[in-house]
Amino acid sequence: MSKKSALVIGGSSSLAQGIVSILNSLNVNTSVTYRECPNTHGSERESFVLDISRMNVIDDFLDQIKGREFDFVVNLIGSMSHLESKVSHTLIRDYLEVYSTNLIFLLDELFLDSRLAKDGKILHISSRAAKYGSFDRFYAASKSSIEGYIKSVPKSINSRISINAISVGLILDSRMFLDMDVSIREQHIHKSGGKLLNCNQVAKSVVQILMDSKTNSGQIIELGPQYE
């Protein structure tokens, strides 16, 4: 049996280290992307530069992995920083272009252009904001567009490759949690009944879903406490 391979997109994410560690413990050969030069992160694992705000960098990245066949792709890239209530139309447009248009383009290229094994899996980490809304309407919009894309892929493309998303609420020890306004953070904790998941719990669930051969494509899998 050949060794499995995985690509984790977004190596600086709060979840990345835990997911990579678990995959390595399962003998999965894991590569990671970073927005900046990979060798600054002090790791010997294979890594790539990928900044989704720049289409030329996305194209360069896709060229670098041409001919590769990953068994698993985990996308951790997504908006973390919330926009202020009063921002320019240009900033809002750029924000949505990066976290909707460019990211969907990247996922579609990975799905269509033979960069995954025949039974490969793409798993995107999304947010409950896509379904229930958010204190930041633009953040919620960026999440909703990608979930709509993921649900539509199996309806339009016949493939053994699966693409799904995990919808998770605020994660206890994530950078988003730590950087969030305290009053909003407390509302999340209260609404969840004090049962928000931590990074380690989410990382374990991500890998479990990747390894589950029974998960159909186009699913939005809700994780953690159910609250609006």
Q: Tens digits of per-residue pLDDT, 30-70?
A: 999 998 876 555 556 789 999 999 999 999 999 999 888 99
pLDDT for 96-150, tens place per residue? 888 889 999 999 999 887 788 888 999 999 998 899 888 888 888 889 999 999 9
**152-158: average pLDDT:** 92
Q: Residue 95 has what pLDDT?
A: 81
Residue 177: inside a domain: no
179: left (phi over 0), alpha (psi -120 to 50) or beta: alpha
The proportion of the chain whose per-residue pLDDT surpasses 90, expressed as a percent, equals 47
Residue type, 121: K
Residue 188: inside a domain: no
Range of the domain at 163: 5-170+198-222
Higher pLDDT, 134 or 152: 152
- The pTM score is 0.89
Residue 14: inside a domain: yes
Residue 191: inside a domain: no
Q: What is the CATH number of the domain that holds 147?
A: 3.40.50.720
Residue 59: inside a domain: yes
Residue 227: inside a domain: no
Query: How many domains does the chain divide into?
Result: 1
Residue 189: inside a domain: no
Residue 115: inside a domain: yes
Q: Residue 1 has what pLDDT?
A: 54
